[in-house]
Structure 1
Amino acid sequence: MLHDPKGGSFRFDAGALCLDFAHTGGEGQYAIFETLHQPADLGEWLAQPPLAAIMTVPVSADELTEAKTLRRAIWDAAHARAAHDPLPSGAVATINRTAAATPLTPELAADATTAGWAPPVRATQALSTLAREMIELLSGPFSGRIRECASDNCPLVFVDTSRPGARRWCAMERCGNRHKVRALRARQATSVREPSPIEP
């Protein structure tokens, strides 16, 4: 769920957890969307499903800085791929460096029906897991389906995992519906301006 600073919220599925992470805030004009203000905010985000990585070691300020650096790298790489541009070398280096750390280790529960993450669970491990997912996304079969929302003023990026590969909008309830409303108004305005063929 993403929240608009102007009010309201909408459901947004980026199609990959690493891309969801890229939309947790930003710098400059995107600072108003920031959700990771304190180290604890990062821990809370990582603890949410589907990752559900509950930290056994508190998130540090350095890890928060590292997370924001990775987030920017994922954002830049995704937008470059969506635009069919070369990936920024700095973004690639950051993603690779973060992925080099030990990732989260899955662990089967005693009942053998559920799984979690083997302790200790640290933010650095979770970030490595996100970076590795981004590497798989950029180098895998869905690499060509990383797209930016088709709206003129929406920078959200997603990976289209649908079978037809026809997704255009960040969310149909947001930009998709706005596009439909604008198109309808444009058609109505055109029909009003055009003279009737039976008029002299």
Structure 2
Amino acid sequence: MEPGFVLRPPSGGVFRFDPGTLWLDLLVSGGPGELAVFETLHTPADAATWSGLCRLRLDPARVHVTAGELTALVRLRDGLWELAWALTRGDPVPPGIAALVDRAAAPPPPAPRLRVTGAGFAREWTLPATGTHLLSAVARDVVDVLTGPHADRVRECGGHRCGLVFLDTSRPGSRRWCSMERCGNRSKVRALRERRAPDAG
């Protein structure tokens, strides 16, 4: 299944957005401050639903999240938004982020399983899983990304007032948009209109 989320922003339209890695998948679920209007993690069941939509693709019916684990997941997500903003804007990493990630990463994540298919092999996850498993998987992904070859490729979409954040895993490292069908096309249309506009002088 193609990674990413089908987003329906309040401004209208529907588009697919692939954040590029698991920890940025979590940011799609909402966030602090002005991002609270996009909140989707209201109940433990919502966290289980997210586990089926993110790149883990777990079976939500077999993911059991407690109220305390939901609170920890939201706390981690909001901290990761602060981390993402620091990375994309060149600001200092907020204090306490490393400790927040380390605590979440300490328990084991979901255990992988090998499935033999007609075309070769596929990875599955040992279920049932818990909210603590989800926290660990997300936090370990933060460590992997920020200590890996794409550590400097956490980007904010170049679209006007978009704000979505993604990991640019393209070979040339030239991804600019959350989605070409949304912000990429809007930018092209805006640039075309500006070129066609009569000179002010």
TM-score range, shorter chain: 0.7 to 0.9
| 2:164 is the counterpart of 1:179 | no
Match of 1:94?
100
5+ unaligned residues in a row in structure 1: which ranges? 195-200
For residues 61-109 of structure 1, the C-alpha deviation after alignment (integer angstroms, 9 at most, x for no partner) is 1111111111112222122112222211222221111011221111345
Task: Report the Cα distance in structure 2 between the residues aligned to 1:92 and 1:73, rounded to whole angstroms.
Answer: 10
Q: Spell out structure 1 runs of 4+ moving beyond 4 A.
A: 109-115
Which residue in 1 is equivalent to 2:3?
A: none
Structure 1 residue 54 displacement after superposition: 3.1
Unaligned runs of 5+ in 2: 1-5
Alignment of 1:66-81 (within 5 A): 66-81=72-87
Q: 1:184, CA displacement in angstroms? A: 1.1
Shift of 1:41: 0.8
- Residue type at the aligned position of 2:34: Q
- Tell me if structure 2 keeps the 8 A contact 1:145–1:160: yes
Give me the whole-angstrom Cα distance separating, in 2, the residues matched to 1:19 and 1:170: 12
More strand by share: 2
- Counterpart in the other structure of 1:7: 12
Alignment match, 2:90: 84
Shift of 1:15: 0.9
Going from structure 1 to structure 2, the CA distance change for 1:183 and 1:108 (only over 3 Å counts) comes to: closer
Once the two structures are overlaid, the 10-residue window that deviates more, 80-89 or 38-47, is 80-89
With normalisation by structure 2, the TM-score equals 0.86
The size of the alignment, in residue pairs, is 193
Amino acid at match of 2:180: M
Q: Tell me whether 3-12 or 15-24 shows the greater mean CA deviation.
A: 3-12
C-alpha separation in 2, matches of 1:122 and 1:85: 34
In structure 2, the CA distance between the partners of 1:88 and 1:173, relative to structure 1 (3 Å rule), is: same
**Does structure 2 retain, via aligned residues, the 8 Å contact 1:53–1:126?**
no
CA distance in 2, matches of 1:57, 1:180: 42
1:51 aligns with 2:56: yes
**How many Å separate the matches in 2 of 1:116 and 1:153?**
37
Q: 1:178 to 1:130 in 2, by over 3 A?
A: same
Contact 1:5 1:32 in 2 (8 A): no
SS at match of 2:64: coil
Report the counterpart of residue 177 of structure 2 in structure 1.
Answer: 169
1:151 equivalent to 2:159? Answer: yes
- Distance verdict in 2 for CA 1:147–1:186, change over 3 Å: same
Q: CA deviation at 1:160?
A: 0.8
CA distance in 1, matches of 2:158, 2:53: 29
Greater shift after overlay, 98-107 or 114-123? 114-123
CA contact 1:79–1:147 (8 Å) conserved in 2: no
Cα drift, residue 119 of structure 1: 4.0
Please tell me whether Structure 1 or Structure 2 has the larger radius of gyration of its CA atoms. 1
**AA in 2 matched with 1:50:** R
Give 1:28 deviation, angstroms.
2.3
- Report deviation, 1:166: 0.9
State whether residues 105 and 117 of structure 1, in contact with CA within 8 Å, keep that contact through their aligned partners in structure 2.
yes
Q: What is the Cα deviation at residue 152 of structure 1?
A: 3.5
Alpha-carbon shift at residue 49 of structure 1 (Å) = 5.7
Alignment-mate amino acid for residue 39 of structure 1: P
SS of 1:116's partner is: strand
Q: Which amino acid aligns with 1:83?
A: R
Give me the CA root mean square deviation: 2.1
Matching residue of 1:61:
67
Give the partner amino acid of 2:136.
S
